[in-house]
Structure 1
Amino acid sequence: MNRLLVFVGLMACAGAAFGETWVRCGSVIDVDAGERLGAHTVVIVDGKVSELQSGHPEWAEDVERVDLSSLTCLPGLMDMHTHITSESSPSAYIERFTLDEADVALRGAQYARRTLEAGFTTVRDLGDSFNASVALRDAIEDGRVPGPRIFTAAKSLATTGGHADPTNAWRQDLAGDPGPREGVLNGVAEARQAVRQRYKDGADLIKITATGGVLSVARSGDNAQFTDEELTAVIETAADYGMHVAAHTHGSEGMKRAVAAGIHSIEHGTYMTDEIMTMMIERGTWYVPTISAGKFVAEKAEEEGYYPPVVADKARRIGPVIQQTFERAHAAGVRIAFGTDCGVCPHGSNAAEFGYMVEVGMSPADALRTATINAAELLGQEEVLGRLQSGYAADLIAVDGNPLEDVSVLNDVRFVMRDGQVFVDRSVEG
């Protein structure tokens, strides 16, 4: 049967015509135990898992019936580092001057749909433009467009000339002097103002670029770009508003400063030292590796004209290191949550990250935990997301095969449900 997309808000949504939905699963993945259980029936009421029944009892009357008895069911996957309203391309740099807010928002809706179809029912967005991810989050929540549940940082924060300064390499009359409203800060007062502006804009969390980066048109990809005082001001102010702070980092000095200041998560972490790993373990700091982005930029750096020369040089040097760092951090016991940086790499390719993790020593069970229970804990949503258990959101996907033996099956998701509503049903091929 062809792919069936059932859009939120339409009367055909699964569960819309009935108060209760039963999903028969051929097997179920217990992500906590790392085990594949036998046949179960997931009972869903009002968008939440009501109970998990062993086996396949006779269908009750007046329930919506979903038969996945030939497939393996598991919780919806979660990607903790995306840029849901943009995507890398050779034209991306010029599009900063040609795309309007509406263009960015409409593209974001396309990318969100692609992400959901890939089985990712929750994402963290770590940097947008025009606050497009805030509007997209709200539209998805209201049922106006299909997509994953979004937790967004809106515009990421930088210092002048830093990785997320939106005017890097612009000519002087265009660049101007962006400030906290545009996500550029210098000093403690502006750091606090920039956080408060994100709160006003509707962000769920804060993202800072604590070091240089690959895709910005700036010389350094790894220099420290925030002072200790600025980091402390951002983190303390965010805490006042109930928000965590994620830090983009490649270089060790900026990374060390961020961890010492109490950062919630380190993103990329390319040149993470043993000392920093020890600090992160002691403080419980999360690590979101984004191996997929590292591989993608290194590959595209060899494609003539894909990136400006200054970007290609950084991509060749930094991109290949991330998987090696992940291998070391996992062996050391650093807390890891799943993240891809999709938007740098193509949206919908998120599940490739599982293969990269397993390739260097992480077990499939642990890899699945990074994208379910670990990601939920990072978000502070561990009581409602990341498991197929009573009281949790009815986020359920299904695959053909056993992901605990072969994570590549996660690249071909046959069924996607979010909050009890069906978005993809390819449970019967033909």
Structure 2
Amino acid sequence: MKKVIKVIVAGMALVSGVSFSAQYGIIHAGKLMAVPGEKVTSKQSIVILDNKILDVRPGYIEKDALNISQGDTVEVIDLKNKYVLPGLIDGHVHITDQLDSKNKLRRVEYSDPDTALFGAYNAKILLDAGFTTVRDLGGRGGDAVFALRDAINKGFVEGPRIFAAGFVISPTGGHGQRIGYRDAVFKVVNHSGVCDGVDDCRRVVREQVRRTADQIKFVATGGVLSEVAAGTGQQFFNDEIQAIVDTAHSLGRKVTAHAHNADGINAALRAGVDSIEHGTFADEESLALFEKTGAYLIPTLLAGATVSEIATSKQSFFAPSVNEKALKVGPKLIETLRIAHDRGIKIAFGTDSYVSKHGINAREFQLLVEAGLTPVEAIKTATVYGADNLGKSDELGTIESGKFADIIALNRDPSKDISALKEVDFVMKEGRVFKQ
């Protein structure tokens, strides 16, 4: 029936002479970093057709340079005095949450719709900061993050493109569970990403995929913010980790591991995980496994800096067990990243935004440079490598023909002063201007 309708509509268009119009855009870019790491060019025109990049041409072309049909529209955007580069990718956020003194209470007070709307508020802040794509690695509120992702894709809500992992996969009592509530309350705030044993872990991964998770995240080790004195060592057993990774891969999903101590990092890497979040206490075996497997390290330096700042503040709202871990983990992240960078390990951008405030994500670039990356290398972590970490290099990460028209512009050259990325003046996502 659908095929018949399409034929009828096509026939009516031919008879009546009606044609479907296309929307073109031309961006005049003064300085263009089309592919971070390659030569920056001057006086370029980015040609956009609907939501994708059609071409990049030298010089400032005008509307009449395009071969367009009657009824097509063309918008010319003047960024001649700007530095233009691809939209940024943050590979580790929690968009429906925010760490502060009210965080524990908010988990009890907010309904799932409240949580989704809070996420929508954060989504707009992230998009305005130049982050056109994010990977959410643990969403609160049941299906809230999936609803937000889908609403953004449909154009109902303004925000970055979201790749959502759904619930964090955790063992009972592990870092992925919310600890510190009495049992009756715990049943309300805790969700179904918990598994124990190989078969149960396979089931939970499959359940996340059924819930439409784009990727899978599990906790290989304890975490800083867990209000329990369990440390930051390995929490899942090796066979459970292997079951999680194998099941995710069999269902076409990339899988990442939250991991601080070397035992959990190494177990996850041996199991074939695609990336490691944090990687704080990586040892020589860890570094060798990163080199062997090609897995990405997402260092989340901003999260480390943030928990250290809170822990040393007189207004710290951390439990004593959290304070102790924060003071150990925060400073170690930069040291580990410096070593990993020197070894040539693949690094992708991720802030663990929610630990830090949404919208200040670009501070991570400055921390990456402090750890030894050049400004251009830091930019590549959130563009070229950020797209590869997601498995989306064919769609994202550079300004090239066939890719989504995700484009930002700055007043200053970020390759000379990385702090320029904290002041994004222009944001386009999929050919639509959201900030100018």
TM-score (norm 1): 0.92
1:51 to 45, 50, 55: 55
1:150 and 2:162 equivalent? yes
Contact 1:132-1:154 within 8 A present in 2 as well: no
2:214 to 179, 194, 204: 204
Counterpart secondary structure, 2:402: coil
Counterpart secondary structure, 1:25: strand
Deviations 1:228-275 (A, max 9, x none): 110111111111211011100111111111111111100000001122
**Cα offset, 1:169, TM superposition:** 2.4
CA 74–32 in structure 1, closer or farther in 2 if over 3 Å, else same: closer
Counterpart secondary structure, 2:246: helix
Contact 1:34-1:404 within 8 A present in 2 as well: no
**Which residue is 1:22 aligned to?**
26
Identity %: 39
Which has the higher relative contact order, 1 or 2, with Cα contacts under 8 A spaced 6 or more apart?
1
Which whole-Å CA distance do the structure 1 matches of 2:185 and 2:148 have between them? 28
1:163 to 157, 175, 199: 175
Which whole-Å CA distance do the structure 1 matches of 2:370 and 2:342 have between them? 13
Which whole-Å CA distance do the structure 1 matches of 2:317 and 2:78 have between them? 45
**Cα offset, 1:178, TM superposition:** 10
Q: Which residue identity lines up with residue 319 of structure 1 in the other structure? A: G
Q: Which residue identity lines up with residue 135 of structure 2 in the other structure? A: R
Which whole-Å CA distance do the structure 2 matches of 1:147 and 1:75 have between them? 16
Which whole-Å CA distance do the structure 1 matches of 2:359 and 2:365 have between them? 13
1:271 and 2:275 equivalent? no
1:364 and 2:387 equivalent? no
**Which residue is 1:13 aligned to?**
none
**Cα offset, 1:49, TM superposition:** 0.4
**Which residue is 1:81 aligned to?**
92
Q: Which residue identity lines up with residue 296 of structure 1 in the other structure? A: T
**Cα offset, 1:39, TM superposition:** 1.1
Counterpart secondary structure, 1:409: helix
1:37 to 32, 41, 60: 41
1:292 and 2:328 equivalent? no
**Cα offset, 1:360, TM superposition:** 2.3
Gaps of 5+ in 2: 1-19, 67-72
Which whole-Å CA distance do the structure 2 matches of 1:175 and 1:58 have between them? 61
With 206-215 and 357-366 compared, the bigger mean Cα shift is at 357-366
Q: Which residue identity lines up with residue 213 of structure 2 in the other structure? A: A
**Cα offset, 1:305, TM superposition:** 4.0
Any residues of structure 2 matched to 1:6-405 within 5 Å, and which? Answer: 19-60=23-64, 62-129=73-140, 130-166=142-178, 168-175=179-186, 182-303=192-313, 304-405=315-416
**Where in structure 1 do 4 or more consecutive aligned residues deviate above 6 Å?**
none
TM-score (norm 2): 0.90
Deviations 1:207-227 (A, max 9, x none): 001100011111134121011
**Which residue is 1:428 aligned to?**
none
CA radius of gyration, larger in: 2
Deviations 1:168-210 (A, max 9, x none): 222244446999x711110011101100110111110110011
Q: Which residue identity lines up with residue 161 of structure 2 in the other structure? A: R
Which whole-Å CA distance do the structure 2 matches of 1:318 and 1:372 have between them? 27
Deviations 1:109-148 (A, max 9, x none): 0101100000010110000122321111100000000000
Counterpart secondary structure, 1:38: strand
With 243-252 and 298-307 compared, the bigger mean Cα shift is at 298-307
CA 50–372 in structure 1, closer or farther in 2 if over 3 Å, else same: same
CA 273–40 in structure 1, closer or farther in 2 if over 3 Å, else same: same
**Cα offset, 1:37, TM superposition:** 1.1
